[in-house]
Amino acid sequence: MIGTQAPVTVGWENIPKVEGGPVKQFIFTWFQPTVLFALIAFWYYAPNSVAKASTAIGIGIAFKILLLGLEWMTPRHESWRLTWKELVTDLFYVGLGYTLLRMVDSYIGDGVMIEAVQNAFTWDKLAWFIGLPLLVQAFLISFIFDFGQYWMHRGMHNWYPLWLTHAPHHYITQLNINKGAVGNPVELFLIGLGVGGFFDFMPRAALLAGTLGLAVGTYQHINVRFNTPRWWRFLFNTTEHHSVHHSQDFEASRSNYSTTWIIIDRMFGTCVDGEAELLGMEGGRRMSIGETMIYPFSEGWKTLKERFRQPVAMPDAVPAE
């Protein structure tokens, strides 16, 4: 039963609204949909010379800086405040994503496999897809990618070897903009695997799909409260959903696996609408960077040793002669 180990609020009607004056209410009610539709319009109409991956990276960084500013000005919970130490730690993992993981990805990641498939593909077979309206293409790319991530994430919570890689991410005790990058690099590599790169032959649709991830998925880890519209929280993942997933309550953490489309969780019965403030594992123990790096291997080794340890024969009773 949810909430037996740590407090979790279940049900939208029980979740507080943004507090403050009318201007603040207005901004934090309309911010999310305005940014989403503005970004969709931008990528839909941007000239080909602008609609490039480098522009998307620039927008992504600028958007995250803006959200860090919002976190600073109006934190959702004081207990999730971004400190200098948390910022440094988070940025280290972000840095690994931009450097080490990209390097590894270019050799053994999905990009290599996708390129091999693309080279062996008969393009005529994809003409029907390329001929669909752009927004439909973007939706399909985003949804198919998220569908894959949903099952990888759910697998991580249900199969011990995968859980070992994902567990360090669940030791975060607060949600901030860059917390999505916190975790063991093996997990970050695995969760990055997907079919998203397959669609790079449709750059505009792929960029539109990417912007859905940015303008929706980013809110999974953020210390800001929004009055998220009802339709949004029905379709999309939110801070509230993801806080339940990170709750210290075990049952609550087995929910809300998708990254962007919470409707996938609704389809498979794993969605819990609610929120939690008390996050983490082992009562909120903060895992150090060093432990995060070795955890899957050290814990895996410990488990293997226990499993294969020779049991000592201890007869219950000595049989009588």
Angle at 68 between CA 18 and CA 250, to 5 degrees: 70
**Smallest gap from residue 293 Cβ to another protein (A):** 12
Minimum CB distance to another protein smaller for 157 or for 286: 286
- Look up residue 269 and give its two tokens: 């019965």
189/243 Cα distance (integer angstroms): 23
Least separation in angstroms between residue 205's CB and another protein is 9
Query: Which string of DSSP letters, residue by residue, matches 89-107?
Result: HHHHHHHHHHTHHHHHHHH
CB-based contact 216:36 (threshold 8 Å): yes
| CB 102, CB 189: distance < 8 Å | no
In the bound state with another protein, the residue whose beta carbon lies nearer, of 24 and 52, is 52
Query: Are 247 and 8 a contacting pair, CB within 8 Å?
Result: yes
Q: Provide the strand spans (E) within the chain.
A: 9-10, 274-275
Nearer to another protein, 66 or 136 (CB): 136
Q: How far is the CB of 155 from another protein (least distance, A)?
A: 28
Cα separation of 301 and 283, whole Å? 24
Collapsed DSSP state (helix, strand, coil) of residue 212:
helix
Name the packing angle between helices 185-192 and 134-156 (round to 10°). Answer: 140
Q: Which two tokens stand for residue 268?
A: 């498979």
Q: How far is the CB of 229 from another protein (least distance, A)?
A: 24
CB of 23 or CB of 127, closer to another protein:
127
Q: List contacts with another protein (CB under 8 A).
A: 44-48, 51-54, 79, 81, 83-89, 91-92, 95, 98-100, 102-103, 106, 123-124, 127, 130-134, 173-174, 201-204, 284-289
Nearer to another protein, 174 or 255 (CB): 174
Q: Quick one: 130 or 267, whose CB is closer to another protein?
A: 130
Quote the least distance from Cβ 280 to another protein, whole Å: 9
Q: Which is nearer to another protein, 119 or 310 (CB)?
A: 119
- The secondary structure element, H or E, covering residue 129 is helix 127-130
Least Å from the CB of residue 269 to another protein: 33
Q: How far is the CB of 275 from another protein (least distance, A)?
A: 18
